[in-house]
C-alpha cells in the first residue's frame, strides 16, 4: 500500500511545519526567523502525489469490480475485495489529512494578532 507512505510523509511534513511555526512564534521580534532548507519534496507536491495515488487505487478497484461483474476469469473475489479495502483505507487517510488541514487553518485564523 504505497499511499500509506505518502500519507505518513505528509503527516511528518505537517509536524515539521508546526514545530517551525511554534519556534518562530517563540522567538523575539528582533531575532530574524531561520529558514531551514527543505530536505525533500514540498508539502504541496507530497499532497498532490498522495491524492493521485488514492485516485489510482480507486480507479483500480472500480476496474476490478467491473471486470469481476462481467465474469472475467482472471479476476477473483479476493482481488476485488483487497483492492476495494485499499482504496477505502487510502481515501479515509486522505480525508483525515484534509480534516487536520482544515482544523489547522481554522486554528491559525482564530489566533489573536
Domain spans, the chain = 2-31+43-109
Cβ pair 39, 16 in contact under 8 A? no
Q: Please provide the average confidence, as pLDDT, over all residues in the chain.
A: 81
Q: At what angle do helices 2-26 and 43-69 cross, to 10 degrees?
A: 160
Q: Quick one: which of 88, 81, 85, 98 has its CA closest to 14?
A: 98
Q: What is the pLDDT of residues 32-61, one digit of tens each?
A: 545 445 566 788 888 888 899 999 999 999
Distance of CA 82 to the CA centre of its chain: 20
pTM of the model: 0.59
Amino acid at each position: 500500500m504505497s499511499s500509506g507512505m505518502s500519507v505518513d510523509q505528509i503527516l511528518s511534513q505537517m509536524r515539521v511545519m508546526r514545530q517551525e511555526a511554534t519556534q518562530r512564534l517563540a522567538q523575539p521580534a528582533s531575532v530574524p526567523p531561520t529558514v531551514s532548507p527543505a530536505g525533500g519534496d514540498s508539502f504541496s507536491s507530497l499532497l498532490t502525489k498522495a491524492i493521485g495515488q488514492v485516485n489510482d487505487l480507486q480507479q483500480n478497484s472500480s476496474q476490478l469490480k467491473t471486470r469481476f461483474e462481467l465474469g472475467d476469469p482472471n479476476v477473483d473475489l479476493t482481488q476485488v475485495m483487497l483492492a476495494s479495502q485499499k482504496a477505502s483505507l487510502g481515501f479515509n487517510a486522505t480525508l483525515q489529512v484534509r480534516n487536520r488541514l482544515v482544523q489547522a487553518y481554522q486554528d491559525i485564523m482564530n489566533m489573536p494578532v
